[in-house]
Amino acid sequence: MTKQLSMFGLGLVASVLSMTAWAQPSGTPQPQPPTRTPPPQTQAQTPAAGKPSIVLVHGAFADGSSWDKVVPLLQAKGYHVVAVHQPLSSLADDVAATKRVIHQQPGDVILVGHSYGGVVISEAGNEDKVKGLVYVAAFAPDANESIMELGKEGPEPAWLPTVKFDEGGFGYLPDTSVLEYFAADVPRSDARVIAAKQGWTHRRTLDDKVTTAAWHTKPTWYARASKDKFIDPAAQATMARRMNARTSNVSSGHLAMITRPREVAAVILEAAAQKPVQKPERVDKST
């Protein structure tokens, strides 16, 4: 609307000036209509030639602000970065939201997922534009697997029975669970903010299954959170090995991108800088 009013104003000025010019004697210098100088393109608006865009996918009980500390580190290196805000209503809905963002990027894409976001990128990563996958303390299911099936061989996570679901099936983590499991190593004042703004998540996201796991064919990296109380670090290592992912160890709890943003950004930048034509051999940096 502001743009329309601005253009209307310019048209009105031009009309008045043209009438004034008609009334002036011949030979009188005629004023020129004002010109608009286009705003400069920012680094975030125009990615450097040859660099992929980086699309960040948050996990359950979260939103796109999960990546706030990582985004400027990636932008400082000249990358175009977009954080998805998926609805957390079902895997299909979240994959659709992620694909919409992927399709809008000007070129290749590095797709990054945290926690449940790993399930989303495993499916959405099959898009042709996606050239690499980065899992950050994330679930990494195979085809016909859900989060619940990934954990069926081990004990039930301590946070799972604490989730409070409403009559519509959407759930949230109580503050105590956020502080103890989800954001265990985040400063308490910040963890309470995370609890307050968490994205309510439908229970079906725990049971929805991946159709085709993109990590079978796409180069894959994994940032394993070694002090995670939400997803067992040993389970993270197992999933990374199964994917043949290049694995880095991050000394953090579940929200590694908040407490160790530079280390997480380093893994993403490594993935973005690679131009492999095939899925790379696994390189384990966790030791």
pLDDT digits (tens, 9 = 90+) for 75-109: 999 999 999 999 999 999 999 999 999 999 999 99
Q: What is the pLDDT of residue 154?
A: 83
33: pLDDT confidence band, cut at 50, 70 and 90? very low
> Closest by alpha carbon to 140, among 61, 224, 81, 64?
224
- Determine, yes or no, domain membership for 76: yes
CA separation for the pair 222, 209 (Å, rounded): 21
DSSP string, 235-265: HHHHHHHHHT-EEEEE-S-S-HHHHSHHHHH
277: pLDDT confidence band, cut at 50, 70 and 90? very low
Which is more confidently placed, 165 or 43? 165
Q: What is the pLDDT of residue 285?
A: 57
Domain extent for 59: 53-285
The CATH number of the domain holding residue 196 is 3.40.50.1820
CA separation for the pair 215, 135 (Å, rounded): 10
Q: What is the pLDDT of residue 284?
A: 59
Q: What is the pLDDT of residue 48?
A: 64
Average pLDDT over all residues of the chain: 86
Residue 13 has pLDDT above 50, yes or no: no
Buried b (16+ CB within 10 A) or exposed e, 29-65: eeeeeeeeeeeeeeeeeebeeebbbbbbbbbbbbbbb
CA separation for the pair 273, 52 (Å, rounded): 9
- Determine, yes or no, domain membership for 215: yes
- Determine, yes or no, domain membership for 17: no
Residues with Cβ < 8 Å from 249, sequence gap 6 or more?
224, 226, 285, 286, 287
- Determine, yes or no, domain membership for 44: no
What average pLDDT does range 217-237 have in this prediction? 97
Domain count, the chain: 1
11: pLDDT confidence band, cut at 50, 70 and 90? very low
- Determine, yes or no, domain membership for 18: no
- Determine, yes or no, domain membership for 6: no
Per residue, the 3-state secondary structure of 181-206, as one string, reads: HHCCCCCHHHHHHHHHCCCCEEHHHH
pLDDT in tens, 144-166: 999 999 988 888 999 999 999 99
pLDDT in tens, 58-74: 999 999 999 999 999 99
CA separation for the pair 74, 267 (Å, rounded): 11
Lowest-pLDDT range, 91-95, 154-158, 191-195, 275-279? 275-279
CA separation for the pair 86, 93 (Å, rounded): 8
CB atoms within 10 A of CB 242: 12
pLDDT in tens, 51-61: 999 999 999 99
At 4, is the secondary structure helix, strand, or coil? helix
> Closest by alpha carbon to 147, among 182, 116, 112?
116
- Determine, yes or no, domain membership for 23: no
- Determine, yes or no, domain membership for 166: yes
Query: Residue 115 to residues 177, 257, 273: CA-CA distances in angstroms?
Result: 16, 11, 23
Residue 254 · residue 115 · CB < 8 Å: yes
At 281, which amino acid appears?
E
Q: What is the pLDDT of residue 16?
A: 31
